[in-house]
Amino acid sequence: MSELAIELKGIDKSFGPVHANKNIDLKVRKGTIHGIIGENGAGKSTLMSILYGFYQADKGDIHIGGTKANIKDPSGAIASGIGMVHQHFMLVENFTVLENVMLGAEDSPILNKGIAKARNELKRLEDEYEMEVDPDALIEELPVGIQQRVEILKALFRGAEILILDEPTGVLTPAEADHLFRILGQLKAQGKTVIFITHKLREIMAITDEVSVMRRGEIVATRETAKTSVEELAELMVGRRVLLRVEKGEAKPEGVKLAVRNLTVKDSRGVTMVDNVSFDVRAGEIVGIAGVAGNGQSELLEAISGMRRAVSGSVELNGEDTDATGHRDPAGLRKRGLAHVPEDRHHMGLVLKFEESENSILGYHDDPKYGRAGLLNVDAIRADAQAKIEQYDIRPPNPRLKTANFSGGNQQKIVLAREMERDPIVLIIGQPTRGVDVGAIEFIHRRIIEMRDAGKAILLVSVELDEIRSLADRILVMFAGRVVGERSPETPEGEIGLLMAGVEQKLEAAE
């Protein structure tokens, strides 16, 4: 049991002034599942990228199976028996499963021979690890959970003995995540070593044997999972005690401020993403929308905020129609009291190359208080940004710093400050804490509750079921573009999880 699969000695890596990994020592025992947990920016991804050969460490050694390895690039890592399943899959969408598995390991320029061999090998792997996949299915037609399985098979096909999984459950339903955990259990039973990177404490507790906690580029502790607790790990991650549950009082809902009626939205390819959805959000309540990513939540938010034209249906804001199927006018809706914290702050909520102060007016740059006659009053904008920085404790407190140089949590605070300080009537929030460190999550959750208590109507979309359950006063579950049920936040997680997976899957499971 004590044989080491991987040993990292004194790994050190800097990107310019950023010291991403500081003198890291890590021992991963063979045949175990080793968790690595830490906030965003703690250096987990950098460390794994060094192990997988994307980056070279400035200092330190990597030992694999007891011998020193010199990993210069990913193919070197593969040769050393390391496989990696990335957060964003590295699959060719319009290739079949078999073609993807073979890619880069074709053996010879003529494919025929390789294909037959690969098919046999794939079959063998599928049987051994109970991972059924149709080798001739196109990737783009497979659900995300299966795509992830293909990634794992790809690594095993290349003879991986050590498998690194980077945030593997972000895109999965609870049921799919359970299946993944069973697969990882199989792999462990066959003597493979798994490194499991996540920021979800519960997953660490559920499947790992040992866990290493990273904070600010250092490994601050390694624990046997059985001998630690969620509270201890959270404290190690943040460096102080963290409140994991959100304290909130009873909601006092009043009049309807946002009324969505029979809304149907198609995406740019013409696929129906939101299918005849109706609901109300009242002043002083938080309505949460739960669901696996890609079930129409994004399109719903875009349609309500005026970014995307709906095919049919209507959206009423504060009792007035917003012409959801007509001219798109996000700026006009903002003026009417609709604030929108978008799901994707990197591509929507912020312009990363702007100075912080420039982002603090995005969408509100027409406001007369930022300048007269088509010109911008830069001093007024910076003063306004400075005030928000202080109020939201955005760090570093410099309105002239490029937004890309702020951490995920602070970037999100820039967006929240901009949208919340407008005193909106309706606030729609997508993924409020995606890629945000634990310390900032606490702050953001508290602000959302404060906004509710101040009488705002809040629509909250998140793929983190825990977050929805702890914040929302009512939960709507979306699946395949439809609202498939409404539940109270006290409903057991399993029940909501089944709804998230869709009724059809539930029937299959019953058979």
Partner 1 sequence: MSAPFAKLPNWAEYGLIPVINLVVAFLISGLVVLFAGENPFKAAYLMVSGAFGSGEGIGYTLYYATNFIFAGLAVAVAFHAGLFNIGVEGQAYVGGIGVAAAALTFDATLPWYLVFVLAVIGGAIMGALWALIPAWLQAYRGSHIVITTIMFNYISYALMLWMLINVYKPLGSMAPQSRTFGPGGEVPKLDWLLAIFGLDNRNSPFNLTFLLALLAAFLVWVLIWRSRLGYEIRTLGFSAGAARYAGIYEKRITIITMLISGGLAGLLAINSIMGDQHRIQQEFVSGAGFVGIAVALMGRSHPIGIVLASILFGMLYQGGAEIAFDMPNISRDMIVVIQGLVILFAGALEHLFRPWVVEAFARARLRSATGTGGA
Residues forming contacts to partner 1 in the complex (CB under 8 A) are 14-20, 22, 40-41, 43, 45-46, 49, 305-307, 329-332, 334, 340, 342, 344, 347-354, 358, 361-363, 365-366, 371, 374-376, 378, 402, 405
- What minimum distance in Å lies between the beta carbon of 339 and partner 1? 12
Distance CA 487, CA 491 (A): 6
Name the phi and psi angles at 451, rounded to 5: -65, -40
- What minimum distance in Å lies between the beta carbon of 41 and partner 1? 5
- What minimum distance in Å lies between the beta carbon of 353 and partner 1? 5
Furthest C-alpha separation in the chain:
73
Compare residues 17 and 109 and give the one whose CB is closer to partner 1.
Answer: 17
- What minimum distance in Å lies between the beta carbon of 381 and partner 1? 10
CA count, 13 A, side-chain hemisphere, 501: 21
Judged on CB neighbours under 10 Å (0-12, 13-18, 19+), 293 is: middle
Partners of residue 215 on adjacent β-strands = 218
Compare residues 310 and 361 and give the one whose CB is closer to partner 1.
Answer: 361
Compare residues 206 and 378 and give the one whose CB is closer to partner 1.
Answer: 378
- What minimum distance in Å lies between the beta carbon of 48 and partner 1? 11
**Closest listed residue to residue 100, CA positions, set 67, 127, 134, 74:** 134
For 26-94, the DSSP string reads EEEETT-EEEEEE-TTSSHHHHHHHHTTSS--SEEEEEETTEEE---SHHHHHHTTEEEE-SS----TT
- What minimum distance in Å lies between the beta carbon of 242 and partner 1? 21
- What minimum distance in Å lies between the beta carbon of 289 and partner 1? 19
- What minimum distance in Å lies between the beta carbon of 20 and partner 1? 6
**Closest listed residue to residue 233, CA positions, set 278, 203, 258:** 203
Compare residues 95 and 354 and give the one whose CB is closer to partner 1.
Answer: 354
Distance CA 219, CA 304 (A): 43
Compare residues 49 and 225 and give the one whose CB is closer to partner 1.
Answer: 49
Distance CA 9, CA 73 (A): 19
Cβ neighbors of 510 (< 8 A, separation 6 or more) are none
Compare residues 340 and 487 and give the one whose CB is closer to partner 1.
Answer: 340
Contact 286, 460 (CB under 8 A): yes
- What minimum distance in Å lies between the beta carbon of 310 and partner 1? 15
Compare residues 40 and 186 and give the one whose CB is closer to partner 1.
Answer: 40
Compare residues 111 and 376 and give the one whose CB is closer to partner 1.
Answer: 376
Compare residues 13 and 487 and give the one whose CB is closer to partner 1.
Answer: 13
Neighbours of 436 (CB within 10 A): 24
- What minimum distance in Å lies between the beta carbon of 190 and partner 1? 33
Compare residues 33 and 77 and give the one whose CB is closer to partner 1.
Answer: 77
Partners of residue 197 on adjacent β-strands = 36, 166
Distance CA 437, CA 443 (A): 10
Q: 428 by DSSP, 3-state: which?
A: strand
**Closest listed residue to residue 90, CA positions, set 167, 154, 170:** 154
